[in-house]
Structure 1
């Protein structure tokens, strides 16, 4: 495992445990509570990863042995008192602040390579926003979740309410959790479709499982994986016909890549194909 100090920050550690695979670890003790410097660094780290053409898969985890994240650092809410006293101007400033927060937490979603969340212990509030912006979600059997914002007088506004209904397809379950703020288990998270796997054990075991999947993804054509992520994101927010037109246009270019004949040759010869790194990948939103 090699450190990637060029990508790490004060609150986030980045390492490369496998070729082309990054492990991004939230590392702000004692509970990975997010204040403004933390969430801005989170967005910056993922945007920097997006511009590294050697990266093909990312695992997002916590370096803390007992939990993933306690959510929002309530002390950070005091900054709202520094905004303009005029209600209209204050509202505009708060709205811009929220939009910047949303943009930072959405960074895993706009990252061109798959991001796998490996969750253990507590994952409350903002942790659900973060998970929802990832592509794949694994949880240790000891994971506990909560859409906690209602308990502090807020409607969740950083992505949970926008993404979770589309991830799970269960409006009733999502609304129950968002209205009550109650804890739910890894088993319930699997039942509702928030996660795709429960891993026996805690942090080390779920991170190992996520890294194994990331290693497999990294062995595939990076052109194919990048395209698959983009087409799936487009499909989520558009009609079937619109998505068919989108992927036809996308593949009219990407089928000209050398990755396709390399993959076909490898399949016919029953050998693992090797693929060159991407060029500097796009980071623009769809």
Structure 2
């Protein structure tokens, strides 16, 4: 676990194949550049870690997941000699923040989010980049950016239209920044499940789900996530053609191992995925 050591994020392997990535920046996990950099580093590491088959993203704080962007720690208007150079500096900063959020979606391993309490602004960006999203009863969400004079710029407005089935309600929430809870989150399709028991309950539910995913063939889960992500951004025909190229994965030893486990009614054993390339 030495590769996952950091200041603002706690990482543990509570179960075989499951990495728990826990935001830990009191008092409210305000999202700043340092937290963003650590998050990206951990997800890029998890993506190529042969010991990791599923990731759970959660918060260490009782108050909630995150209050959103730390306006006191992030330079929203960088100093420069002229407006063009200031715009370029701001663009680089936004790219940096966007890439950290995208590292969740781009991670080869499935990511399960477990949120409770407050999930504002950048928290919704992070949440929407996860593959499976659970929330606790009483969770309060907000696409908060318009309240500080901004359009959400690190992922929410790009990912939410692809994962949410009610466009009218999404526009209402994004344009008003009003708070909404688990009933509307379920109605939107933002969460697959609302869990009782607060922080502990939702984290336990996410961990149980992650254990199930981690027990499956790592080739199968990696391929499934990859093809789902590709198909979400392309037509059905493009997705089918891409799958034709990807189908070389059926040659994995995981396939006969899965068949054998099924017929013998016992858990399968799978070889780990390759680790990071050594240069």
**Fold agreement, TM-score > 0.5:** yes
Q: Deviations over 1:120-169 (max 9, x none)?
A: 00000000000011000000001000000000000000000000011012
- In 1, the alpha carbon distance for the partners of 2:111 and 2:276 equals 15
Residue 140 of structure 1 corresponds to which residue in structure 2?
136
RMSD (CA atoms): 1.2
What does residue range 113-192 of structure 1 map to in structure 2 within 5 Å? 113-192=109-188
1:215 aligns with one of 201, 211, 218: 211
- In 2, the alpha carbon distance for the partners of 1:100 and 1:48 equals 17
Gap change, CA 1:142 and 1:281, over 3 Å in 2: farther
Length-normalised TM-score, structure 2: 0.97
- In 1, the alpha carbon distance for the partners of 2:180 and 2:246 equals 39
| 1:71 and 2:68 aligned | yes
| 1:263 and 2:258 aligned | yes
Q: Deviations over 1:155-208 (max 9, x none)?
A: 000000000011012211110100000000011101110000000011111000
| 1:59 and 2:64 aligned | no
Unpaired runs of 5+ residues, structure 2, are: none
Check conservation: 2:78, 2:86, Cα contact below 8 A.
Answer: no
The alpha carbon displacement at 1:51 in A equals 2.1
Residue 197 of structure 1 corresponds to which residue in structure 2?
193
- In 2, the alpha carbon distance for the partners of 1:264 and 1:159 equals 39
- In 1, the alpha carbon distance for the partners of 2:197 and 2:187 equals 19
Q: How many residues align?
A: 277
Structure 1's consecutive aligned runs of 4 or more residues displaced over 4 angstroms after TM superposition are none
- Partner SS, residue 126 of structure 2: helix
Length-normalised TM-score, structure 1: 0.94
